[in-house]
Amino acid sequence: MRMLITGGAGFIGSEFVRQAVRKGHQVAVVDKLTYAGDLERLSEVRKDITFYKADISNQEFIEHIFEKENPEVVVHFAAESHVDRSLLDPYPFISSNVLGTQVLLEVSKAKGVELFVNMSTDEVYGDLGKEGSFTEESPLKPNSPYSTTKASADMLGRAYYRSFGLPVVTIRASNNYGPWQYPEKFVPVIILKALHDEKIPVYGDGTNVREWLYVTDCAEGIMAAIDRGKAGEIYNIGSKEEKQNIEVAKAILKLLGKGEELIEFVKDRPGHDFRYSLDTTKAKRDLGWEAKTSFDEGLKKTVEWYIEHLKWAQDKVAYLNDYWKRVYVRQ
């Protein structure tokens, strides 16, 4: 199958690229290579893919790529994806996540793409209390500039399916973690700071809850949607592994043999959603997919990977130090 994968040098996208290559698909990757994109993630499959450095909002160049590659399936990961950055500057999120998605949908429609897979997030559903889980029918109530742009992309996908007949499948995944995640996200931040005996920033009182999905499982869920999903449908992809942020921090410290005195509670994120939880009944029933990796197993693998690839992560830290000062403010 000829696949065009946007954001394929990113965290989740690169895992999907590696899986697609192993399955024998013909893969072309489009990535702008912004600060979080890295071709090193694709080193093991670089010779097996075609790569284009491109901004997905550049319609003329995207049309050129489609002409050359003639993709049957488009898998759209490319996005600005960090909530904290969207609070500092929403504009890049609107440009990439909304305008870029519209360009891809428009070109896919014009070229007769057989399937367009839109990668979304559980954050589009908004805040959830202590009980219950979001289903695919739950209303969208995004609360950050990031999640609002992702909800906008979801609605564009819906419109192109309903109005133009473009076969669009939407994947809403819970919080991913695992190897190769850019160290601005919660899990790698804790690992790197703990390894250097630095204070570990935890928002508020640490009781916010996320559902943690190992990245390999997530990519497998997306592949299942390509193989068995139905156009026009939405599929929640989650793990049922819900953890408070403070629990995650303590679990990482325990794996590293570090003391909990490193934890430092910082001023809470503006508009911080309390809890996300996904009902994945539909994915299990229609796609035959469910997460395989327990949180304990996945976290152990992740910590071991960062220890083994410490240089890759540390090379990013110099860029991040000033950013960390801006978002992690002591209470």
Under DSSP, the state recorded for 41 is G
| Cβ contact 17:48 at 8 Å | no
* Catalytic residue from among 31, 52, 69, 146: 146
Give the count of beta carbons closer than 10 Å to the beta carbon of residue 88.
Answer: 11
Contacting residues for 137 by C-beta, under 8 A, at least 6 apart: none
Whether 72 is catalytic: no
Whether 146 is catalytic: yes
Spell out the long-range contacts of 48-55 with Cβ–Cβ below 8 A and sequence spacing 24 or more.
48/21, 49/8, 49/17, 49/21, 51/8, 51/9, 52/28, 54/30, 55/100
Q: How far apart are CA 65 and CA 69, in angstroms?
A: 6
The secondary element (H helix, E strand) that includes residue 202 is: strand 200-203
* Catalytic residue from among 55, 80, 122, 184: 122
Q: Which two tokens stand for residue 243?
A: 């953890």
Q: Which has the closest alpha carbon to 48: 23, 13, 72, 31?
A: 23
Whether 123 is catalytic: yes
Contacting residues for 161 by C-beta, under 8 A, at least 6 apart: 167, 168, 231, 232
Q: What is the longest distance spanned by two Cα atoms in the chain?
A: 57
Number of residues in the chain: 331
Q: 149 to each of 37, 79, 97, 139, 153, how far by Cα in Å?
A: 19, 9, 6, 15, 6
* Catalytic residue from among 38, 80, 123, 211: 123
The single-letter code of the amino acid at 330 is R
| Cβ contact 13:74 at 8 Å | no
Q: How far apart are CA 224 and CA 316, in angstroms?
A: 33
Please name every residue paired with 5 in a beta bridge, in sequence order, or none if there are none.
29, 75
Strands 49-53 and 73-76: unpaired
Catalytic residue ranges? 122-123, 146
